[in-house]
Amino acid sequence: MKTAEELDSQIRTILRNHGRLNQDALQLDASDDLYRHGMTSHASVNVMLALESAFDVEFPDHMLKRSVFGSIGSIRRALSELATA
Amino acid sequence: MFLPAEITASVPSTLRQRIQMGFDVAQVSSVAHSLAEFGDRYLRRLFTPAEIAYACQGVGLQAERLAARFAAKEAVMKALQLSEAGVDWRDIEVVKHPDGSCGVALHGEAARCAQRAGAEQIVLSLSHDGDCAGAVAVAVLASPRPEIPLSTSHENR
């Protein structure tokens, strides 16, 4: 089981590569709104696909919500939920 | 349109309908990049077999057509306020009519949400030019919701 810090680190790397953020993902707070930092809806799809590859999961329909991909913290919570499902 | 309660009974039913509009843009080069990066998984996660077949027919314009369809799906999500509904992108399908115009077919949770919202019709217009693709969706809803503030708007990226 990965720690929250380890998960956040992986999420930040993916956001850095795919989120098209206007700020370095490593500098963001876990609660910062990613959409306010430049992530578009299409970029969030790329983030989702990259997360699925990295964590070997698939986001089910009920998680395909704007808020799930809205912050590092919300992504971490979703991944944790998928890991324990 | 806002109609005070005391006059709604005297106006034609069509005037008691309300509309909700959604607009979205997608960058064609970004879609092309996603296709190169994620390949088939990207295609099959977002688009229906019919959408993929249309986008891939002929030579070129694949990314443009897909970008316009992605923008259309997002525009419909905004028009029907589905961003928190948990809707699969493939449940919002862009349908190409013989006359060249596009419509939308809703499936699954998107269809259920539209029905609950009282959607009677969804009108769609999409376009692309160079690196930009965009779409507008207008949902015609049956039931009035007078509590909606008249001057609100919100921006979703």
Q: Which of A40, A49, A65 is closest, CB to CB, to B83?
A: A65
User: Domains of chain B by range and CATH?
Assistant: 5-141 (3.90.470.20)
Strands (E), chain A: none
Confidence grade of residue A85 (pLDDT, cut at 50, 70, 90): confident
Res B7: pLDDT? 44
Q: What is the CATH number of the domain that holds A37?
A: 1.10.1200.10
State the DSSP string of B26-94.
EEHHHHHHHHHHHTHHHHHHH--HHHHHHHHSSSS-HHHHHHHHHHHHHHHHHHTT-TTT---GGGEEE
Is-above-0.80 flag for pTM? yes
Task: Tell me the CA distances in angstroms from A77 to A4, A73, B1, one per residue in order.
Answer: 9, 6, 41
Confidence grade of residue A6 (pLDDT, cut at 50, 70, 90): confident
Interface pTM, i.e. ipTM: 0.92
Q: Look at residue A1 and tell me whether its pLDDT is greater than 80.
A: no
Res B37: pLDDT? 96
Which residue range is the domain that position A77 belongs to? 4-84
State the best of B27, B35, B38, B106 to mutate against chain A, taking most chain A CBs within 10 Å: B38
A8-57 pLDDT, tens digit per residue, is 999 999 999 999 999 999 999 999 999 999 999 999 999 999 999 999 99
Return the residue of B nearest to A42 by Cα: B26
Residues in A touching B74 (Cβ below 8 Å): 41-42
Res A41: pLDDT? 95
Q: Which parts of chain B sit beneath pLDDT 70? A: 1-15, 143-157
Interface of A with B (CB under 8 A): 20, 35, 38-43, 45-46, 49, 61-67
